[in-house]
């Protein structure tokens, strides 16, 4: 067969015939294959060819007559015309303007392809390089964009996250909550496999050497105690067993402190073998510039009493206390004063309790003090 223009390859086509029995009343018949136009088939009744679109119409596989065919055996038949199909390679530079283009199977497009509307790919679309050339917009379900100032843009909108990044196991690695600007990591982020410092719970070590006895009901003064020559010497504050005795210290918390409650964990020892318990209490007050220093400490909070091991000079570490509310109105840049005491009403250690220091826990809400 001759062609004008480019010759298609792999040309194929096949005709077929459908026969029906008229009954004098039925006007609609089912074809063996779908038909797009009335002229795609030749319809005969009693061997008389019918006029397309006048004597009959088609819709998919339905053939409908405008009149009623007479009764007869095989007196109605439709011949499907053989339609040629093939693979056509358009000439270079040819523009194809189509309202709808359906491509099935595997297709390869070379050169520049422009889709002015929506390009819907049911399967997997692959590309060596994919370069968006426009910005995304509010309301985009899932979009990739680019601007010269922002660079690559990822956006979306979900009920939980706007953007979610997952690993090969389909497990979330990080996400941006819907409508938010905070990135939430499933586990601690790292740089070169080293964890990045993030806001959260922090601790400060306050040694007994940084404390001083209260003027009223104070503990013994700081003393350096030798265990054995050239082994750790201890700077300690001794607290009697007969009455509550107090010591004080102060801390200017970092700006990243959230100005909330704190907790503490005492480190202490006893020179003796008594296995009685020791309990400690802590209270605090925050002061800003121009505030009076003559104010009361906040409510004292106690640790759970811990029994001494019974071995002289054993290090004892009490459990972390409950939340200590710092009195005043804590603010960034404040100086916080603390008072610590042995609560003899809650313990039964017969010897002096020697305070080595405390670990003070606080919470930050920023990664640094910038």
| DSSP secondary structure string for all residues of 226-255 | ESSTTS-EEEEEEE-SSS--EEEEEE---T
Whether the CB-CB separation of 192 and 185 falls below 8 Å is answered with: no
Mean pLDDT of 103-113: 69
Mean pLDDT of 118-134: 79
Spatial neighbors of 19 by CB under 8 A, at least 6 apart, are 74, 76, 77
Predicted confidence (pLDDT) per residue in 245-292, tens digit: 999 999 999 999 999 999 999 999 999 999 999 999 999 999 999 999
Q: Please count the other Cβ atoms lying within 10 Å of the Cβ belonging to residue 349.
A: 24
Which is more confident, 114 or 183? 183
Q: What is the pLDDT of residue 128?
A: 79
DSSP-based three-state secondary structure for 336: strand
Q: Which two tokens stand for residue 63?
A: 């053939």
Domains of the chain: 12-84 (no CATH), 142-188 (no CATH), 204-363 (2.60.120.260)
Q: What is the pLDDT of residue 8?
A: 55
Instruction: Please name every residue paired with 144 in a beta bridge, in sequence order, or none if there are none.
Output: 154
Whether the CB-CB separation of 74 and 21 falls below 8 Å is answered with: yes
Q: Worst-scoring range by mean pLDDT, 85-94, 264-273, 281-290, 324-333?
A: 85-94
Mean pLDDT of 222-229: 96
Predicted confidence (pLDDT) per residue in 175-209, tens digit: 999 999 988 888 888 888 888 888 899 999 999 99
The structure's pTM equals 0.63
Q: Are strands 190-191 and 212-213 parallel, antiparallel or unpaired?
A: unpaired
Q: Number of H helices and number of E strands within the chain?
A: 0, 28
């Amino acid at each position: 067969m001759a062609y004008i223009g480019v010759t298609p390859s792999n040309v194929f086509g096949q005709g077929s015939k459908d026969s029906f029995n008229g009954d004098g009343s039925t006007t609609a018949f089912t074809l063996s294959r779908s038909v797009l136009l009335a002229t795609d088939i030749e319809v005969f009744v009693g061997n008389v060819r019918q006029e397309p679109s006048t004597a009959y119409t088609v819709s998919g596989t339905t053939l409908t007559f405008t009149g009623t065919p007479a009764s007869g055996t095989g007196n109605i038949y439709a011949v499907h015309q053989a339609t040629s199909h093939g693979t056509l390679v358009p000439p270079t530079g040819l523009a194809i303007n189509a309202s709808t283009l359906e491509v099935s199977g595997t297709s390869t497009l070379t050169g520049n392809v422009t889709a002015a509307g929506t390009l819907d790919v049911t399967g997997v679309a692959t590309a060596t390089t994919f370069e968006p050339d426009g910005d995304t917009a509010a309301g985009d379900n899932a979009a990739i964009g680019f601007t010269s100032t922002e660079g690559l843009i990822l956006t979306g909108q979900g009920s939980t996250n706007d953007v979610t990044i997952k690993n090969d196991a389909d497990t979330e690695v990080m996400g941006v909550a819907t409508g938010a600007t905070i990135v939430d990591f499933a586990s601690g982020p790292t740089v070169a496999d080293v964890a990045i410092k993030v806001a959260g719970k922090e601790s400060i070590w306050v040694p007994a050497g940084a404390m001083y006895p209260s003027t009223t009901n104070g503990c013994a003064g700081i003393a350096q105690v030798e265990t054995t020559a050239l082994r750790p010497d201890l700077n300690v504050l001794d607290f009697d067993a007969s009455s509550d005795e107090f010591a004080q210290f102060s801390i200017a918390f970092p700006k990243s402190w959230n100005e909330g409650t704190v907790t503490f964990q005492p480190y202490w020892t006893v020179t003796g073998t008594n296995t009685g318990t020791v309990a400690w209490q802590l209270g605090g007050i925050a002061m800003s510039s121009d505030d009076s220093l003559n104010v009361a400490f906040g409510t004292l909070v106690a640790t759970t009493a811990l029994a001494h091991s019974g071995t002289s000079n054993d290090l004892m570490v009490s459990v972390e206390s409950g939340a200590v509310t710092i009195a005043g109105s804590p603010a960034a840049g404040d100086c916080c004063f603390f008072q610590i005491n042995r609560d003899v009403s809650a313990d039964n250690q017969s010897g002096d309790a020697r305070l080595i220091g405390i670990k003070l826990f606080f919470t930050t809400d920023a990664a640094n003090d910038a």
